[in-house]
Structure 1
């Protein structure tokens, strides 16, 4: 049975049990501050478990893309080395929201595994929760009694809270669980050690394949457990492990989930998978990591230097590094794997196939950048090699951490390079530096969040902000959040006109007004499906009624910018092509920012055409066509554009401005007709990432102010050049005159440099067969300092040259040696300049014959020539 058939049999089985089969949610989390990525099958359904939102069906089944590389569930360092840990993985799940419970869940899991998949019963073990006295949690007797009807008692194991009580994180839904494990060892191996002794002991052939979690509790911030409003079933079956079991393999990587990728990599590298453990690990790392990289990019997360983007960049660089080190991939290669993966999973996750060229372009550019960084890091190591040899042949922890933090070198890569150079790494020192950085990061982001104070249980928020700016409201719940420099409250209302930040649109501000007080709402955010009104203080009487009123003037500017963003998107597709897709946006009261897929700079003429189209639509005063609660398939048939990486339900909101021009799925606020926008002006166009461009624009009064500012500057330039006509010609003439003067000045400076060279040559001191020149000089820039050093090398034999100069207020030092002195006298310019740089509180380096340094203290320059003479004499007397 191949992997596609295994997946489909799971979905078909639960469809036959009246489950609604739903597509995977995007792997990138947009509206949950506690998660960057979906890390479990239940994460997209958290609000249903908590009762914040009703589930679309009481029974659901799916296969969910998951990613575990950070936080509590961090498997990254195991990936590639063992047979069953992965970054991205599929979690098959069946879900009950207040419907069936343990009896059905356990029976169906056993039926599917043993009767549909035909897994041998004598290879299966099950576990149940043994209870926990510290929290007064009893043993799961019900699960034990149910299992006894299906499997012999000697195959039922009792597990501790660590193994058999599932918790999503420090807070949230949780409950006892019952796992199913399979023993995949040979008969001979089983005869030596019973399988029950290896369950939950990280044995690669005795693995968990199914977890039935019985969601009964909610873990609060104070650590206590409270009962959930209803009992739920959350199950998860690791798809990759299931395939290993059904296909009779000893590794997930030996299944047809990974083999197409593995064989492609091996063929391209010219190696045989299974022949060498080092290359095998590298191949497995690349085959695994491309799945996480490709699908997160397809779901809207670009590699970057912070948060979720940094996680993806780290995974990508780890894969590139393994290919570079062990498979000799010195040019971008990883991006090619995306095509293999897209073909393999097109039937279940079509989003990658639909965006393949974009995803490949992003990955390839990231590979190019990191390969250049690798090269720079290697040069950095080469430049410091002498220093390490003086340090007991050890790369100090601070430098190892600099290589990690600046150049993306993991510690094991630095250690590998060190071994090749006969060096070692101070790993303990690296650990100290790493912990200090983590501590700084934790301190900067640390927050303390109280549990919700619930005033009206089982009440969900009604959003009326599309139609109203003000409404009567009551507080449903609130909590306090303390951070390093702020103390705020999150307030949930039963009814609100406040739009919560999402889809690129910023959150509303405004006021909660009662008869006795007015509390300012500083921002509005969304946490899963809760609308959080953020304030700096709590109303004195939280149970009182309030008027919830948004800042209508600010909202009006936001509306204009959001509607203009839709018109911009449509105009870009018309001018540049249908490949243009939104890749991110920001809609505020001040401006709109629109990121889109495009592989070249947008030319000025194209920008003018886009701007013209948008303003033409504005002048047409096209009325807004808004449709709410439209079935998703019907919306797509209308031509509505869905954004990759967004999570859409069965019913959506469609926004159109004349269906010939713009039809999009959107939850934001908009003008009633395009004429309300007034005027649209593009401010800038730039690159954001590989294959992603950014346009910033302004509308209405802000656009008028921008244009007026540009005209004012233009008039100021006219006054300076003294002309009202042919302004560009006048400016060009000034530029030509400036370049001519620059050329004359350069010639004059070069002439002075020649005179300085002759003067310095005459000052050469004979010291033990050397010609030593050590002087403080005046030059205009660093290039002239370098030219002077190399010119001196041509006219003075056996030269030891030390030049000190203050350039633009900053001290600089250059050391130049004749080649024969490096070879015969064991002199080294790089070592000398580092020592001299101490006088100016700086540092530097370079090559054995030429090196430079910069510093912070120009007052120390006068001491450099004397110290240079002392260094040379000491070197010769050794």
Structure 2
């Protein structure tokens, strides 16, 4: 059974059980601070379990893209070494929100596995929660046990502990006992020798969990206690890749048709055969897994970067690159070439792969090339460390610096050192790594208390499109303490005029005023799992009273100007650069806007001017806002509204139209484009391969920009004696400056020639080598000319010259090439060592190298120490 059929059978089965089939949500989460990525099938439905939103239907089924590479659920380092862990995987799931419970979930799971998929009942085992003796004092799940007895013999129902059979989404939130279904795909002979039940949850590659049925009935509070949920829910997750392994009769997920096309392509590109060598096999498994994770992340809008979720994606990709570099001998980009076969394999189920294929390839290729350059640089640095190492062990601190500063993988460091008969101080490295982790944990440490409920109110209405003020009641609040922000309070209202951060636009600020006139300032507004949260530094005194909530009008108006300008900018880019342009991210603040878009070449100055003129023409055209708030998604798309990859949309959406610009958007906009006043592009550049960024300003920021530039112009004009043609006067100054520079260069060359005559007489002979160490009054370029001039006149020459320029020290070392070959002298190694005297360092080639430092007083000591090399 092919993988596409396996996926379809699952979804069709649950559609037949009155489930709504929904597409996979984007993997990158926008409004859940507890998660970077969707790491389980239930994550996109968290707001329903928390009671913050109503689902479209009480029964839902899907195949969800998941990523497990950070936080509590982190499988990254296991990927490649076993045959069933992955970074990205599909989670087939069915969900009940207060509808059916254990009886139906168990019955349907058994029916699907044994009757629809035809899995032999004799190779299946199930586990149920055995209860716990800890503070929770939970009883055994006898209900699930009794239901399972109807389908499977009791000797195949195993009791599992809290670690394996009690599922929690995190430290807080909905949770409950679970029942896992395991399958034993070993041969009959192996099963006869060792009972499968002894291998359950023992990390056996062929006795694996295939489906987890979670019975969500509790809520974990901040203090660790459990309370019963008002409604009981079902949350199931079945690993698609593992299911394919079982149904296709193979012993590894990588032997299924989910991965074999990618593996065959890797074999073709690298001339390496899968199945002959364990190191090669691990590398191929790593690459075939990781290309999926990176490709889907880019398709969902998350580019590799140095922070947050982008850093995680970069780390996955670099792990794949270094396995190819080390074990497949690939010193040029490889992984981007696998995107084509991936999109052909999975593009029908996940159309974003096909739509974004070119962008994915470009981004991966550039990232690969960049990291391969880093590896080359790291090899040079590692060789330097090896040269400086005394003894047979490289310090963990040095290895960590290479890892932390330059991104050089520690396992590659260890491998290269072993080839040079050197050891790595692994303990020292781990200590440095742990110090860094502690610093990182300490900086991001946050303590969140439970919500204190003041008013039972399930609906929090946003009214900020129409008003900036409202009388509100606080329905709940909680305290959050972090190292970064100290103590903060999060407030939820029954209704709110405050816009929560979203769609690239930052959240509103403002204040709450009570009946006595006391004010508490709202410092930010964000959305978390569909709840609008207002951040304050203090808790209002009369918390149970009514408040007047007031949004900061200037903050809102300026943000609105910039947000509308991004829509007009998007239209301009598609009109002028082409329909291939798509938004890839934005940031809208009161003072500025930032817009990322797909485009594969630099935007020319002429195009930038055309784009700016296009936007300003729409501003001058005084286009009114045309808004539709609850339009069906399908109708909005038919009318030409643009939907963005990586965004999660509901059945009904809001459209924003200004003239011919129409987009799906939940943000705040001006009532008329004339409110923007003017748009100005301040920068344009590359963010990643195929991704460009424009930064711009509008409204008050443009007025300030023109005012500051005018002041700078008048100041410059004053410096030019109020010349009538200041540009021409500046050009004349530049010409004069260039002429003077040429005269100075000529004088310095003459000075160097004169010095050479004097230096010849100062050369001494040490052990058959002509040697001179001296401080000169020349710049670095002049010293280099002197070295090579003397080198053309004398054999067996070693020179070390020092100089002081602008308060900095310079050392230059020249060694005749015959001495480099015969005596093993190395100018680079010498200046690195002597550079310590001037509190600096440097390097270069074996015959010529320079060092710079901040201590000119150390030059004489360095010159004296140079004699020691001869």
**TM bucket normalised to smaller:** over 0.9
CA contact (8 A) 2:641 2:655 kept: yes
The aligned residue for residue 592 of structure 2 is 591
Q: Deviations over 1:483-539 (max 9, x none)?
A: 224221111111100001111101100001102321000111111211111111111
Q: Which runs of 5+ in 1 are unaligned?
A: none
The aligned residue for residue 806 of structure 2 is 808
The aligned residue for residue 840 of structure 1 is 838
User: Match of 1:567, SS?
Assistant: helix
CA distance in 2: counterparts of 1:272 and 1:208, whole angstroms? 30
Q: CA deviation at 1:177?
A: 0.3
The aligned residue for residue 577 of structure 1 is 578
CA distance in 2: counterparts of 1:268 and 1:583, whole angstroms? 31
Are residue 626 (structure 1) and residue 631 (structure 2) matched? no
**The 10-residue stretch of structure 1 (784-793 or 100-109) with the greater mean CA deviation from structure 2:** 784-793
The aligned residue for residue 368 of structure 1 is 369
CA contact (8 A) 2:723 2:729 kept: no
The aligned residue for residue 644 of structure 2 is 643
Are residue 764 (structure 1) and residue 763 (structure 2) matched? yes
Q: CA deviation at 1:322?
A: 1.2
CA contact (8 A) 1:470 1:550 kept: yes
Q: Deviations over 1:139-179 (max 9, x none)?
A: 00000000000000000000000100011222222110000
Q: Deviations over 1:378-435 (max 9, x none)?
A: 11122333223xx223222122112212332221111122222232211111111111
Are residue 490 (structure 1) and residue 490 (structure 2) matched? yes
Q: CA deviation at 1:823?
A: 4.2
CA contact (8 A) 1:512 1:548 kept: yes
The aligned residue for residue 536 of structure 1 is 537
The aligned residue for residue 221 of structure 1 is 222
Q: CA deviation at 1:790?
A: 3.3
The aligned residue for residue 426 of structure 1 is 425
Aligned residue runs from structure 1 range 749-828, under 5 A: 749-780=748-779, 782-828=780-826
Q: Deviations over 1:114-150 (max 9, x none)?
A: 0000000000000000000111100000000000000
The aligned residue for residue 690 of structure 2 is 691
Q: CA deviation at 1:208?
A: 0.3
CA distance in 1: counterparts of 2:677 and 2:108, whole angstroms? 61
The aligned residue for residue 509 of structure 1 is 509
Q: CA deviation at 1:306?
A: 0.9
User: Match of 2:666, SS?
Assistant: coil
User: Match of 2:82, SS?
Assistant: coil
CA contact (8 A) 2:374 2:408 kept: no
The aligned residue for residue 157 of structure 2 is 156
TM-score, normalised by the number of residues in structure 2: 0.97
Aligned residues: CA RMSD: 1.7
Q: CA deviation at 1:561?
A: 1.1
Going from structure 1 to structure 2, the CA distance change for 1:629 and 1:753 (only over 3 Å counts) comes to same
Q: CA deviation at 1:336?
A: 1.4
Q: CA deviation at 1:5?
A: 0.5
CA distance in 2: counterparts of 1:86 and 1:758, whole angstroms? 71
The aligned residue for residue 296 of structure 1 is 297
Going from structure 1 to structure 2, the CA distance change for 1:226 and 1:755 (only over 3 Å counts) comes to farther
The aligned residue for residue 441 of structure 1 is 440
User: Match of 1:4, SS?
Assistant: helix
CA contact (8 A) 1:474 1:546 kept: yes
Q: CA deviation at 1:325?
A: 1.7
CA distance in 2: counterparts of 1:756 and 1:213, whole angstroms? 85
Q: Deviations over 1:745-791 (max 9, x none)?
A: 122222222333333332122223222211122223x3444443333
The aligned residue for residue 605 of structure 1 is 606
**The 10-residue stretch of structure 1 (342-351 or 118-127) with the greater mean CA deviation from structure 2:** 342-351
CA contact (8 A) 1:37 1:67 kept: yes
Are residue 858 (structure 1) and residue 859 (structure 2) matched? no
Q: Deviations over 1:302-350 (max 9, x none)?
A: 1111111111111111111111222222221211111111111111110
Q: CA deviation at 1:23?
A: 0.8
User: Match of 2:643, SS?
Assistant: coil
Q: Deviations over 1:210-269 (max 9, x none)?
A: 000011112222222222221111100000000000111100000000011110111111
CA contact (8 A) 2:514 2:542 kept: no
CA contact (8 A) 1:765 1:772 kept: yes
Q: CA deviation at 1:826?
A: 4.6
The aligned residue for residue 457 of structure 1 is 456
CA distance in 2: counterparts of 1:847 and 1:610, whole angstroms? 48
Going from structure 1 to structure 2, the CA distance change for 1:336 and 1:835 (only over 3 Å counts) comes to closer
The aligned residue for residue 73 of structure 2 is 73
Q: CA deviation at 1:849?
A: 3.6
Q: Which runs of 5+ in 2 are unaligned?
A: none
CA contact (8 A) 2:385 2:398 kept: no
CA contact (8 A) 2:51 2:458 kept: no
CA distance in 2: counterparts of 1:226 and 1:759, whole angstroms? 91
Q: Deviations over 1:254-312 (max 9, x none)?
A: 00000111101111111222122221111111110000101101111111111111111
CA contact (8 A) 1:383 1:845 kept: no
Going from structure 1 to structure 2, the CA distance change for 1:164 and 1:788 (only over 3 Å counts) comes to farther
CA distance in 2: counterparts of 1:211 and 1:16, whole angstroms? 21
CA distance in 2: counterparts of 1:753 and 1:122, whole angstroms? 91
User: Match of 1:627, SS?
Assistant: strand
**The 10-residue stretch of structure 1 (457-466 or 789-798) with the greater mean CA deviation from structure 2:** 789-798
Going from structure 1 to structure 2, the CA distance change for 1:236 and 1:429 (only over 3 Å counts) comes to same
**The 10-residue stretch of structure 1 (796-805 or 205-214) with the greater mean CA deviation from structure 2:** 796-805
Going from structure 1 to structure 2, the CA distance change for 1:9 and 1:783 (only over 3 Å counts) comes to farther
CA contact (8 A) 1:394 1:425 kept: yes
CA distance in 1: counterparts of 2:305 and 2:605, whole angstroms? 28
User: Match of 2:138, SS?
Assistant: coil
The aligned residue for residue 40 of structure 1 is 40
TM-score, normalised by the number of residues in structure 1: 0.96
User: Match of 2:777, SS?
Assistant: coil
CA contact (8 A) 2:598 2:690 kept: yes
Q: CA deviation at 1:58?
A: 0.5
Q: CA deviation at 1:845?
A: 4.1
Report how many aligned residue pairs link the two structures. 867
CA contact (8 A) 1:459 1:476 kept: no
Q: CA deviation at 1:824?
A: 4.0
The aligned residue for residue 250 of structure 1 is 251
Are residue 126 (structure 1) and residue 126 (structure 2) matched? yes
